[in-house]
Structure 1
Amino acid sequence: MPQKVILIIDDDNRNIFALKAVLKAKGYECLSAISAKDGFSIIEERADISVVLMDMMMPEMDGYQAMATMKKSLKMQNIPVLAVTAQAMVGDKERCLSAGAAGYVSKPINVDELLEQIEEVTK
């Protein structure tokens, strides 16, 4: 079975480092970008991205804007996005899902929940 490729878009390198460590240990290939724009460049170069883990709170372009941009792009519109956010307020999950996220994980990340969602959206 080919390895699933996960693109992590997060403006905090510590989050990227922690997620990569966990996901690589589970057998995923991980790519990362510290901005949505950098993430889009990676998607342009790689046709094999299975899922994007998108931090919702980033400078320049936040996760909501990034998902809106992806939905308009033929190359990116079918890549599932899991919203990753420290904002776990009432309504945040619904807001992420209605913005186009395929799933939602709040920080600090529950690894089992994250892995379940990755498997779910990449079936």
Structure 2
Amino acid sequence: MNKKILIVDDDPRNIFALKLTLKARGYQIKSCTMAQEAISVLEKDNNFQAVLMDMMMPEMDGYQAIKIIRDMPYLSRISIIAVTAQAMPEDRQKCLDAGAQDYISKPIDVDKLITAIEKLT
């Protein structure tokens, strides 16, 4: 089964690195640099198995985006993994409370990320 992942991050370098890593493992990747764009992508194509959501972005942050996605019934099954440079224990809980199923801190440990994706999809 082809697994499609949507990467949402305002830093193109993070997207580039994640894309290379995940494509090498057989994932189909789509990426966005803004949360609003990600929501539009998901509205048009809800066949993503997971969304990697950067939590700190301009205009709309990951917390707001996750809430919007969670409020759309046809998107509620999509797994969301919060990806953030904020690495305090309360940050993890804040991400989970916002509606993410898992949390990965930056710099990203690829093995942890792959494990999180496979666990959720």
- Identical counterparts, % of pairs: 52
- Aligned equivalent of 1:57: 56
**Which amino acid counterpart does residue 74 of structure 2 have in structure 1?**
K
Please give the alpha-carbon distance, in whole angstroms, between the structure 1 residues aligned to 2:105 and 2:2. Answer: 25
2:117 paired with 1:118: yes
Q: CA deviation at 1:47?
A: 2.7
When normalised by structure 2's length, the TM-score is 0.96
Task: Give the match's secondary structure for 1:101.
Answer: coil
**What is the aligned-residue RMSD (CA, Å)?**
0.8
Please give the alpha-carbon distance, in whole angstroms, between the structure 2 residues aligned to 1:68 and 1:84. Answer: 15
- Aligned equivalent of 2:44: 45
- Aligned equivalent of 1:69: 68
Q: Gapped runs of 5+ residues in structure 2?
A: none
- Residues 46 and 75 of structure 2 are in contact (CA less than 8 Å); yes or no, is this contact kept in structure 1? no
Q: CA deviation at 1:71?
A: 1.1
Per-residue CA shift, 1:20-66, capped at 9, x if unaligned? 00000010000000111111111122131100000000011101111
How many pairs were matched up? 121
- Aligned equivalent of 2:31: 32
Instruction: Pick which of 35-44 and 17-26 moved more.
Output: 35-44
